[in-house]
Chains A and B, each alone.
Chain A
């Protein structure tokens, strides 16, 4: 999940 957050918001 943390990797997901890294990727999808700016």
Chain B
């Protein structure tokens, strides 16, 4: 475990906490894409298939449980909680799941390191995670009214991905034979999707104005 990986995981954890704070405490999911949250639930469900069969460390198991548990509880809140679901912006959150899930599944079946169920599912989760933020970014652009917590949530998610890239660079130079092209390319694409958002985030921060994405 290096500092970039730890910082990345902590940023990811912080993003989840910010979102849970908004949903659980303020009872609002305004500006949050249910589609993106459902895709994340699918990402973690397909990636952590080994959670109870292969023990790595206490840290790994706990983090996996947190990411799985939070992903599914966020989906539950937005769909079922009677106060939270009222604030859900259904009319603007119209991205179709299968436009994202199906290509990722096909790509995972075609391009993977090894053709076993677990490795293909893991690869699928990498491809899916790379593009799962798209419905959220589309929603932000459509509603044009981004509250503080939503903006911070997306920023933390993007920061987490950027830190993971630094982690891979570090591991590449410090560990022998550490080469994972599929992970790196999908991770890079995922981070690049945030580039536009980052630009406007820093602009609003620098000029001390409300974050707004151009149409």
Contacts and interface: CB of A to CB of B under 8 A. Distances in A.
Contact of B63 (A1, A2, A10): A10
Task: Give the secondary structure class of B's interface.
Answer: helix
Main SS class of interface, A: helix
B173 to A, nearest CB: 17
Given A1-B177, A3-B119, A6-B50, 8 more contacts: A2-B113, A5-B183, A7-B54, A8-B60, A9-B5, A10-B12, A10-B63, A10-B67
Interface residues of B, number: 19
Interface in B192-211: none
A9 B60 CA distance: 8
Interface of B: 5, 9, 12, 50, 54, 56, 60, 63-64, 67, 113-114, 118-119, 122, 164, 177, 180, 183
A5 B192 CA distance: 22
